[in-house]
Amino acid sequence: MWRDRRLIDLLGLEHPIIQAPMAGSTTPAMAAAVANAGGLGSIGAATATLDEWRKTVTEAKRLTNRALNVNFFVHEPPTPPEPAQEMRMAVRLEPYYADLGLEVPAPSVPFHPFSTAALNALVDLRPRVASFHFGLPAASAVKALKDAGIRVLSSATTPSEAMKLEAMGADAVIAQGWEAGGHRGTFAAPFAEGQIGTMALVPQMVDAVKIPVIAAGGIADGRGIAAALMLGAAGVQIGTAFLTCTESAAHPLHREALLEAGRPSQVTSVFGGRPARALVNRYMTEMADAEPLPFPMQFSLVTPLARAAVQAGSTDFLPMWAGQAHGLNRSLPAAELMQRLVTEATQRLA
Ligand SMILES: Cc1cc2nc3c(=O)[nH]c(=O)nc-3n(C[C@H](O)[C@H](O)[C@H](O)COP(=O)(O)O)c2cc1C
């Protein structure tokens, strides 16, 4: 069915389709449904505690014995901001908090990068794949994962980042185009250099590395999959299109907004302190010129606003991560979306 079997053979799949890890939005039911349909089901573990993600992965493993991926962030832990910066941000946010009858909290660090404890737990759980965002963990950790038979993936936003990941031992690299929803994986290039669209990025990355390249960003149906394979990708990673699946943990207001075709998305740092693509809302527009606290501390000041606002039915402060192709989203069970993606892509390719 698929002429290029590199990714299928490397990861033990039936189809070269990865459901993207999406911290906060992926669920065991989603990952297992994708795995059972022959793709790679992923759990976004980056913002969960070790106990939380271990439970999630254990539940997914109960629902499938096929290929699963667990994903982590490997960002630098934040340096606490200067008091003056913290004060400026508190002053900016105070009117929003006041409107919702709340007080601006002290900033905190809501989640931590991949750790030795996480590595040990991962080796115990032995998913087929571990993937990373913002680079790769230390060489000793990559070796420990590979020694345990776990395949290691990471995202790159330029050909030179892909070459770095290949040299660091990645088994395959995800070419994350500018269209992609969620956080930019840029880790070793000036941010502005990593703003390359998927169509331009994939073939250049394919030429730069020997390991398989997985296309990501703006792929939402079989047409996108076929196009990515034509550009030399060995497979695709699809995020946004799975957010409106039955099994998604995305907030109902986020799902509704995704289904509004034509609603613009933009890359912004004001939610968490690092560039990420989201549907434009009031907070993004009004805070566009603000200097966010270091990643991921800014989230600790936005999450209470988002929670309070959604309770009142408003998306004004909600980070609604979305890729540029969200207008193609369908509301289906994940297994059915997988089936349609496979049928659409294979028909095009034939
Ligand atoms: C809601 C959401 C959350 C995401 N969270 C993560 C994450 O935790 N880890 C990660 O490596 N990538 C994350 N991504 C990025 C995806 O891995 C992928 O690059 C992107 O979804 C591809 O573009 P698309 O959304 O247009 O399909 C996220 C994307 C979205 C839409």
Mean residue pLDDT of the chain comes to 98
Q: How confident is the model at residue 13 (pLDDT cuts 50, 70, 90)?
A: very high
CA neighbours closer than 13 Å in the CB half-sphere of residue 30:
30
What pLDDT, on a 0 to 100 scale, did the predictor assign at position 10? Answer: 98
The whole-number pLDDT of residue 149 equals 98
Centre of ligand 1 to C-alpha 94, Å, is: 31
Distance from the alpha carbon of residue 79 to the mean position of ligand 1, in angstroms: 25
Residue nearest to atom 29 of ligand 1 (CA): 182
Q: What is the pLDDT of residues 162-189, one digit of tens each?
A: 999 999 999 999 999 999 999 999 999 9
- Which whole number is the average pLDDT over 301-307? 98
**Using 50, 70 and 90 to split pLDDT, how confident is the model at 59?**
very high
Which DSSP state fits 40? B
What lines the ligand 1 site, CB under 6 Å?
20-23, 25, 44, 46, 71, 133, 155, 176, 179-183, 216-219, 237-240, 243, 321, 323, 325
Q: Which atom of ligand 1 is nearest to the CA of 44?
A: 8
Q: End-to-end CA distance of the chain, in Å?
A: 9
Mean pLDDT value of segment 200-215:
98
pLDDT score, position 103: 97
Give the per-residue pLDDT at 261: 83
Query: How do residues 93-133 score in pLDDT, each as one tens digit?
Result: 999 999 999 999 999 999 999 999 999 999 999 999 999 99
Q: Which residue reads 């939402």 in tokens? A: 220
Distance (Å, whole) CA 34 – CA 136: 25
- Name the closest-CA residue to atom 3, ligand 1: 22
Instruction: Show the beta-strand stretches assigned E in the chain.
Output: 17-19, 41-44, 68-73, 129-133, 151-156, 172-176, 182-183, 213-216, 235-238, 265-268, 276-279
* The two three-digit tokens of residue 57, written as one number: 């992965």
Is residue 154 predicted with pLDDT exceeding 90?
A: yes
* Å from CA of 158 to ligand 1 middle: 17
Separation of 265 CA from ligand 1 center, angstroms? 14
Going from the Cα of 277 to the center of ligand 1, the distance in angstroms, rounded, reads 9
- Would you state the pLDDT for residue 277? 98
For the ranges 16-20, 86-90, 104-108, 258-262, the lowest mean pLDDT is seen at 258-262
* Number of C-beta neighbours around residue 92 at 10 A: 17
- Backbone Cα Rg of the chain: 19
Q: What is the pLDDT of residues 247-300, one digit of tens each?
A: 999 999 999 999 998 899 999 999 999 999 999 999 999 999 999 999 999 999
**pTM of the complete model beyond 0.95:** yes
On the question of pLDDT at 301 being above 90, the answer is yes
Q: Please identify which residue in the block is written with the tokens 């907030």.
A: 251
From 196, 267, 321, 330, the mutation candidate for ligand 1 (largest count of ligand atoms within 8 A of CB) is 321
| Percent of the chain at pLDDT exceeding 70 | 100
Q: Does residue 1 have a pLDDT over 90? A: no
Q: Return the pLDDT at 63.
A: 98
